[in-house]
Amino acid sequence: MSKQKIGLFTAGAIVVANMVGTGVFTSLGFQAAGLSSGLSIMILWITGGIVAFTGALCYGELGGMFPQSGGEYNYLSKVYHPALGFAAGWISFTVGFAAPVAAAAMALGAYAQGVWEFLNPTYLAAIVVTLVSIIHCISVKTGSYFQNYTTAFKVVAMLFIIIFGLLHTPTGDMVFTYNTTVSTELLSPAFATSFFFVSLAYSGWNAAGYIASDMDDPKRNLPKALLYGTLLVTFIYLAINYVFMRVTPVAEMSNENGPVVDIAGVAAKHIFGTAGGKIMSGLISFLLISTISAMIMAGPRVTQRMGNDHRIFKLFSHTSSNGVPIIAILTQCLISLFFIFSSTFSQVVVYISFTLSLFNFLSVAGIIVMRVKHPNMARPYKAPLYPIVPILFLGISGWLMYFGLISNLKESLWGFITALSGPLVYFVFTPKKSAS
């Protein structure tokens, strides 16, 4: 029986679904708290799109050179050393996917409870994660169909909000023309703080790299999935944030009680009325299912790949007759349930954010390393405008990591320590003859 493969459309859907999660629906209030210009906020989202797109271009080259599943685990192992790749995989296995799955599921529960007050958001989050995990355990084909339909619904729903928001009479008070305030805000600490939220909203642009071994013709389709998915999400982010600011007064985005988290629900009330706004909040909760699904589809492939390479993870390399890594999926599900029923999952997401950014940084730097060390190696796809594209990504990402480090020093250091425990496990459990 031939192994079922993931096509270009599904791979692109995984990129879109991983990127479009809780961030775009919740972060605008935090940005409006420190930035008064609509143009400054739009530049913020454009900058985030540039980082994501340049990163996708670089990962396209790496993915074409090393078309196996695992993402950073795969790339860092090949470019630098297996121990560094193991550190990235170790983070992915422990919290890198399970914590964001839990965060998205808890956001789903909170949005749903806003419409149906009788619902328990925690139990609903746990049920959704469990059911979606079971769906992905059935077969690659079943999981692909589920991912395609939920992502398509998400994109259509967001385009629906964008179109009706553009047709609605402006009720917001943000200004989108240039003035001296914009120049001041672009160099302010508030812009840097806001960019941290935007960066988190764009995270997931590298998702297709985690499932490369399950893709049909990954050397050709992986770069396409990364680029097409990232471009689509950038367009949606710019349009929907413009709509949110166009219809929502600043006082309703951030007030004396702090930034408003349910910004999408507030904007929907202006566009569709009170009743329509409630319906849209329920709709947004449904949209998060595709985000949960994408991470449940991608994360276990990293663990599976580690199981193929390392004896300590061998249990997770087992697949069903349909090629599904069931044990890895169910293990990630259990870790996500732990975070859902604890009060610490949001802290976990914060403390690993610096570490995940560090692995992205090292992976993109890897194309420079490979071009210097192996200039004649086959590259089915080459990042354009080299070395401008990787340098642009590294410059902006490096600045963001520095700011994130000094702003969240304790959490960042704990994340770094967690990452360092990965190589320790690697050298302890890897036989000396294969550790070189």
| pLDDT tens readout for residues 106-128 | 888 887 887 888 889 999 999 99
Give the pTM.
0.84
In the block, tokens 């893709």 appear at 215
Would you say residue 188 lies in a domain? yes
**Which CATH number goes with the domain that contains 111?**
1.20.1740.10
Would you say residue 138 lies in a domain? yes
Would you say residue 408 lies in a domain? yes
Per-residue pLDDT band for 99 (boundaries 50, 70, 90) equals: confident
Which pLDDT score, from 0 to 100, does residue 204 have?
A: 85
Measured distance CA(318)–CA(105) in Å, rounded: 27
| pLDDT tens readout for residues 167-204 | 999 998 888 998 888 888 888 878 877 887 788 788 88
- Calculate helix-pair angle for 140-167, 121-138, nearest 10 degrees: 130
| pLDDT tens readout for residues 50-80 | 999 999 999 999 998 998 888 899 999 999 9
Which pLDDT score, from 0 to 100, does residue 405 have?
A: 79
Would you say residue 153 lies in a domain? yes
Would you say residue 398 lies in a domain? yes
Which pLDDT score, from 0 to 100, does residue 185 have?
A: 87
| pLDDT tens readout for residues 2-49 | 466 888 889 888 899 888 877 788 788 888 888 889 999 999 999 999
Mean pLDDT of the chain: 87
Q: 302 and 210 in contact (C-beta within 8 Å)?
A: yes
Q: Is the pLDDT confidence value at 272 over 60?
A: yes
User: At 255, which helix (H) or strand (E)?
Assistant: strand 254-255
Would you say residue 1 lies in a domain? no
Amino acid identity, position 49? G
Pick from 94-103, 201-210, 286-295, 410-419: least confident = 410-419
- Strand, helix or coil at 6? strand
Report how many domains make up the chain: 1
Please state, in angstroms and as integers, the Cα–Cα distance from residue 418 to each residue in 76, 82, 93, following that order: 17, 17, 12
Which pLDDT score, from 0 to 100, does residue 201 have?
A: 85
Which domain, by its residues, includes 292? 8-428
Which pLDDT score, from 0 to 100, does residue 159 have?
A: 92
Would you say residue 43 lies in a domain? yes
Q: 38 and 194 in contact (C-beta within 8 Å)?
A: no
Would you say residue 3 lies in a domain? no
